[in-house]
Amino acid sequence: MIPQEPIGPMRLRDFLPAALLAGFCLFWLAAATLRPQPGQSQIGVVFPPTLSGSQVLARIADAGGRLVREGAWPFIAVVALDQPETLTRLRDAGALFTVNPLALGSCLTRPAPN
């Protein structure tokens, strides 16, 4: 029988491949879940945080969208897509990304005052 060498202490780099794989899988799952679905009539739109609520509303109107409700912060809004090209126009107007409002419903609304 061949004598086995004792296993040394576990190091952080031993867990790095598994941690990277888990992180990638979580990111991919979040991106797939939050992405707006084809044919969805409303989407959540996130603009740069430096914009005020009135600037966001102006950009939505210029893109041909219709505001459904404001988000938790002034730069987030839920927009109705009345025309197919509205999504492209919103991106051209400076939208950072769009999300599925059903997946982030409670994150896109302001908390009720007490």
pLDDT digits (tens, 9 = 90+) for 70-110: 888 889 899 998 887 888 899 999 999 888 887 766 555 56
Q: Is the pTM of this model over 0.95?
A: no
Q: d(Cα 84, Cα 41) in Å, to the nearest integer?
A: 10
Under CATH, which number does the domain 12-114 receive?
3.30.70
CA distance 77 to 43: 8
Strand partners of residue 79: 43, 67
